[in-house]
Each structure stands twice: as structure tokens, then as C-alpha cells.
Amino acid sequence: MSQSLSIQQFPLKKFQSLLALLILCVVLSFMTDKFFTADNGLNVLRQVAVNVCIATGMTLVVLTAGIDLSVGSVLALCGALTAGLFKNGLSFPANDLFVGFTLLGAILGGLLLGSLLGWFNGFTVTKFNVPPFVATLAMLTIARGLTMLYTKGHPISNLGADFAFIGAGIVFGIPVPVWIAAMVVLIAVFITQKTKLGRYIYAIGGNEQAAKLSGINIRKVKLTVYAMAGAMAALGGVIVTARLDSAQPNAGISYELDAIAAVVIGGTSLSGGKGSVWGTVMGAIIIGVLNNGLVLLNVSPFWQQVVKGGVILLAVVIDKMGENRE
Amino acid sequence: MGAGRTELMETLFGLHPKNSTGEIKIKEKSIKIKSPSAAITAGIALVPEDRKLHGLVLGQTIKSNISITILKQLESWGMLSRKKEKILTTGYIHKLGIKTSSDQAMAKSLSGGNQQKIVLAKWLATNPQILLLDEPTRGIDINAKAEIYQLMKQLAAGGMGIIMISSELPEILAVSDRVLVMCEGELTADVPIEEATEAGLLKYALHKNEPAA
């Protein structure tokens, strides 16, 4: 009996967050007629796109029993670099050299920096055995400081229509940020469910010692995962910058908390090895719908924070109750 | 126990690359083993002493636990073949007689003996030349024990080298061809099974530096 119960555990967990989302949507539809419209739906999706990108990377890290607190700062630094490269290029006065960047080149530059910063997180975690919480907390401060240095504390604005299209454009009726987030999610789902790397991620989070003894190169997997989380945060940075048509030095502050909330509400265990990218997507949309619904219902922003915290707590309690039943 | 048996196995398996010296030869060929993956490539497998801590990912399925050592072989075009994996895992479930309703059951839902068989399966999947078994029958029921002895005999007859660590003398005398005794980190005896007796082996395990008989 206990076996058949545990077989059903995974799909049940997947549907838990989907079910919560559906209930939330039904309730909100009854409470306000502004909620259940195509426009508002796309609006919510556009708003959650950035968090989905970040939280997807966060999920990969959390599945290895790690955490990445630096994503908000990495987002800001990479957004600023992308904007800076695109607008001003790189100049090396000493060598009388100037390098200009196309939009794609500038974005790739931002993504490259994001993966490097993430890789460095993974490096400190694996090489010096620094707890991920501390290693990425340090990066949170470092990357924010570097953002201030690079932007000299001023926004980099007026990036032009092409750049703004990434934030505001619509393709086939769907906002561009939603397309980008969907692509990130599909890649992450593919990695976690269809590849060797995905299995390694789950094995490391489930039992790192056993994974090591199975011949898995723990360091390589973790470096890859942190680098991917950095790249996904950087992509979030590109979207945020495009939406505001400006790279703000203080962009992304406390975004790591929304990302972790999405991961947790989506049913991924912070102790690693259990959870899914789909769950996180559900979690991010739940947070988005909740924010949106509370705004539509004219609930004070202060209460919104209280409610959001309550939902996170509820999600974890339900999760723990499920674990105890096992 | 402090005899250094587990540490020796771990060293052979590449788990102590920085603080180990000496030479490993397989079939007269000297090889360097600096990581578990190098050990696997060299044809060595280690069934660790503590299956819950080191052998299995308890919260995952039997299938993922068995296939974890050979995912490379199950991958084509960057994707894992579920079909190949299914064939592999159901094959071992039958071959080793793992009692479970499905290969999707969680490893932690099984009995100690069946868990140990999963650990054996995941290592047999790598086709090792040399199988290191660290207390392979600890904490499992008598039937599973008998099955594991039987399996060891079959594997050895098929040409696999097996090095088993055990603290149970009757077990050692029943399954071995050759007995090595370790005490306080040093090898104290190397006895062919014909000359091995419980009392004789015990002597080497207890008294260090006693001259060989």
C-alpha cells in the first residue's frame, strides 16, 4: 500500500499548485468582473514573466539543495551591461579602440556576464565549500556594488524602439516577455526531465554523498546549474531594462525573495531533490494572480504583502503535512 | 572498526585522491584512479557499507537509482531513452528478484534486502571487472543474504573479481577463496581459504605486528 501511495505522490504534487491556482482564479472571477478577461490574463503573464525566468533558474539551484540570493543584483548588473553595451559600446581609450554592439550582441554580453557571475557562485560553493546561502549573499552585495560602479549610480536610458520591443512588443497576440519566459521554462523542463544533467541535479539534491559515489561530477553539475541561474537572471534583467526603456541601478532589489516564494509555493523542497520547474511556473503565476487580484479588489498594498506571506506559509505547511504522511 | 578496511575500498574507488599513495594494478596494468568516475571507467564498482547514506537516493524511484551510474549509455542526441532505461531496470528487477510492484516505487519503500539489491543492480549495470562489497549483508534478512551469496558466486564464476569486506567470520569462510585480514590500518594476513580458520583469522585481527605463522 505504501508503495502505491508514493507512486502517486509526484503527479499529485504537480496538480496541487495547479489546483490552488484554478481555485484562486475562480474565486477572483466571482469577486470582480475585471479579472477574468483576456487582457488581464496577458497582463498578469507579462508581469510574472521576469519572475518566471529568475525562479526557473532558482528551481534548478534549489533542486541541488542550494539557493541563489544574488539573482536580483545579477539581474541589475546584467541589465545595465546590456543597456550600456548597446548604447555606448565598449571603448578602450588607451588602445584607441572602440567596440560597438548590436542589440543581439549586447544581450549575449549580458547573458555571458550573468553566467560568469553564476559560475563564480558555483565556484565558491564547490571549491571552498561555502554554504550557498553565504556565497550568493556575498554575490548579492558584490553585483549590486558593481552595478553602481558601472552605471555611476545613474540609469542608462533611451535605448530605442528595438530594445523596448523586448519589453513591450507583442508577437502573435502574446507579449514578448511571455515568449521569452516560456522559452526559458521549456529549456529547463527539457533539462530536468529528459537529460542526464537533470537526473544528476535531482540525485545531488536527494543525496549528495550517494550521487558522488555514483561517479557524478558534483562540482561540474553545480557549476552548470549556478551558471544557468545567473544567465536566466540576466535574461530577466534584459526584460526589465527593456520594459522601462532604462537600466536602473537599483533594479531587481528583493527579486530573489519572489523567486524563492514561487519555487516554494510550486512545491519544490528547499532541502533539494524534490520538485519541478512546472511547479515553480504555477507558483510564480499564483503570486502574480494574487498581486493582480488584490489590486483589482482595491486591497491596500500593505495587506497584499501580508497575504503573500500567508500564502507562502500555507504552501510550506501543506508540503510538510504531505511529507509527514509518507 | 578502525581497521581501515572501508578507507582502503574508498581509496581503490578514487574517493581519497589527495591523501593516498601506492599503486593500483588491474591485470598487471598500473592505473591511476582519482575519482569515482575514473574507477568506474577502470571497471571498479563499490557497494558501500551504508546503503541509506551512500548507496541510494531514498526519495527517488528504483528506476532512477539503478540507471544513475550509466545514464551516459542511455543518452542519444542529448536525450535519455526511457525505453532503454525501462529495459535495463526491469531486467535487473527480474534478475536479482527485487520485490516491488513497479520500477517507479520509491527506494525508501523497500525492505533492506531489496534496497541492497538496487545498489547491486546499479553497480552491475556498469559491467565491472572488480566489485567491491563493503559489508553487503549487514542489516538484511536471511533470505536476501542467501540470494546475495548466490549472486556473488555466479558473478565470480563468470570471471568478476569480488572483494568483500565483512566482520562476520562464518560469512567470510563460506564465500571466500582468499582472506586478507586488516588491523589498525595495516594488512596483517593473506590466507588461502584452505588454511583459514576462525581462530586463526581472529588472531591476525586482534594482534598487530605478530609475525606471520
pLDDT tens, residue by residue, B123-172:
999 999 999 999 999 888 898 899 999 999 999 999 999 999 998 888 89
Judged on CB neighbours under 10 Å (0-12, 13-18, 19+), A18 is middle
Distance between CA atoms of A119 and A228, rounded to whole angstroms? 8
Q: Which three cell numbers stand for residue A290?
A: 494574487
- The candidate with the shortest Cα–Cα distance to B5, out of B209, B212, B205, is B205
The 3-class SS string of B6-72 reads HHHHHHHCCCCCCCCCCCEEECCEEECCCCHHHHHHCCEEEECCCHHHHHCCCCCEHHHHHHHHHHH
Q: Given A2, A194, A196, which is nearest B72 (Cβ)?
A: A196
In this structure, how many other beta carbons lie within 10 angstroms of the beta carbon of residue A248? 20
B44 beta partners: B130
CB within 8 Å: A3 and B56: no
* Contact between residue B98 and residue B78 where contact means Cβ atoms under 8 Å apart: no
The per-residue DSSP string of A226-279 comes to HHHHHHHHHHHHHHHHHHHTEE-TTTTTTHHHHHHHHHHHTT--TTSS---HHH
Rounded to the nearest angstrom, the gap between the alpha carbon of residue B180 and the centroid of all alpha carbons in its chain is 16
| Backbone region of residue A273 per phi and psi (left: phi > 0; alpha: psi in -120 to 50; beta: other values) | left
Query: How close does chain A come to B34, measured CA to CA in Å?
Result: 11
Give dist(CA A154, CA A247) in Å, integer: 9
pTM given for the model: 0.90
Q: Which residues of A touch B127 (CB under 8 A)?
A: none
Assess contact for B103 and B61: CB atoms under 8 A.
yes
Residue A4 has pLDDT above 50, yes or no: no
As given in the structure block, the three cell numbers for residue A190 are: 527539457
Report the distance separating Cα A282 and Cα B71, nearest Å. 30
Residues B163 and B135: beta-carbon distance below 8 Å: no
Contact A99, A89 (CB under 8 A): yes
Instruction: Quick: pLDDT tens for A291-302.
Output: 888 888 888 888
Every domain of chain B and the residues it spans: 5-167, 168-213
Q: Please give the pLDDT value at position B203.
A: 84
DSSP letter string, A14-67: HHHHHHHHHHHHHHHHHH-TTTSSHHHHHHHHHHHHHHHHHHHHHHHHHHTT--
Q: Which of A55-59, A106-110, B17-21, B86-90 has the lowest mean pLDDT?
A: B17-21
| pLDDT top residue among A142 and A318 | A142
The total number of structural domains in chain A stands at 1
A176-194 and A196-206 helices, crossing angle to 10°: 70
Highest mean pLDDT out of A91-105, A305-319, B116-130:
B116-130
Is A255 contained in some domain? yes
Return the percentage of chain A with pLDDT > 90, whole number: 66
Q: Enter the C-alpha cell of residue B188.
A: 596483517
> Is the dihedral angle over the CA atoms B157, B158, B161, B167 positive or is it negative?
negative
pLDDT of residue A12: 58
Q: Which one is predicted more confidently, A326 or B137?
A: B137
| CA neighbor of B13 nearest in space, from B55, B57, B52, B59 | B55
The nearest alpha carbon in chain B to A271 belongs to: B59
A8 domain residue, yes or no: no
Strands B178-183 and A174-175: unpaired
Best CA proximity match to A114, nearest among A75, A88, A150, A86: A75
pLDDT tens figures, A132-160: 999 999 999 999 999 999 999 999 998 98
Q: Is the pLDDT of residue B45 over 90?
A: yes
- Residue matched to cell numbers 568506474: B40
A207 reaches B (C-beta below 8 A): yes
Query: How far apart are alpha carbons A263 and A277 in whole angstroms?
Result: 8
Put simply, the answer to whether B80 touches A194 (Cβ < 8 Å) is yes
Homologous superfamily of the B5-167 domain (CATH): P-loop containing nucleotide triphosphate hydrolases (3.40.50.300)
Q: Do B102 and A7 touch (CB under 8 A)?
A: yes
C-alpha cell of A47?
508581469
How far, in Å, are A108, A147, A223 from residue A70 at the CA level?
Answer: 20, 13, 15
Question: Could you report the per-residue pLDDT of A161-170, keeping only the tens digit for each?
Answer: 899 999 999 9
Give A213's contacts in chain B (Cβ within 8 Å). 13, 15, 36, 46, 48, 54-55
Share of chain B above pLDDT 70, in %: 96
The whole-angstrom separation of Cα B162 and Cα B120 is 12
Q: What is the CATH number of the domain that holds A251?
A: 1.10.3470
CB contact (8 A) between residue B75 and residue A207: no
Residue closest to A269 by CA, chosen among A213, A196, A178, A202 = A202
Q: How far apart are CA B201 and CA A171, in angstroms?
A: 78
Contact B166, B172 (CB under 8 A): yes
DSSP state string for B160-184:
-EEEEE-S-HHHHHHH-SEEEEEET
Q: Do A273 and B60 touch (CB under 8 A)?
A: yes
User: Could you say which of A4, A9, A199 has the minimum Cβ distance to residue B64?
Assistant: A199
Using a CB-CB distance cutoff of 8 angstroms, which residues of chain A are in contact with residue B102?
3, 7
Q: Does a structural domain hold residue A110?
A: yes
Shortest Cα distance from A23 to chain B (angstroms)? 30
Chain B residues near residue A268 by CB distance under 8 angstroms: none
Higher-pLDDT residue of B63, A322: B63
**Strands B186-192, B130-134: parallel, antiparallel or unpaired by DSSP?**
unpaired
Give the minimum alpha-carbon distance from B107 to chain A in angstroms, rounded to a whole number: 10
Q: What is the pLDDT of residues A218-241, one digit of tens each?
A: 999 999 999 999 999 999 999 999
- Tell whether A215 lies on the interface with B, counting CB pairs under 8 A: yes
Residue A261 — very low, low, confident or very high, per pLDDT cuts 50/70/90? very high
Residues of B in Cβ contact (< 8 Å) with A209: 53-54
Residues of chain B contacting A206 with CB distance shorter than 8 Å: 57-60
Is the separation of the CB atoms in B206 and B4 below 8 Å? no
Over residues B106-117, mean pLDDT: 90
pLDDT at B211: 53
Q: Which residues contact A128 (CB under 8 A, 6 or more apart)?
A: none
Task: Tell me, yes or no, if B39 comes closer than 8 A to chain A by beta carbon.
Answer: yes
Give the pLDDT of residue B208: 54
Mean per-residue pLDDT over chain A, rounded? 90
Scored b (16 or more CB within 10 A) or e, B98-135 reads bebeebbbbbebbeebbbbbbbbbbbbbbebebbbbbb
B111 against A116, higher pLDDT:
A116
Is B143 within 8 Å of B113 (Cβ atoms)?
yes
Q: Quick check: is A260 in a domain? A: yes
Domain encompassing residue A199: 17-320
For residue A170, the SS3 value is strand
Of B30 and A115, the one with more pLDDT: A115
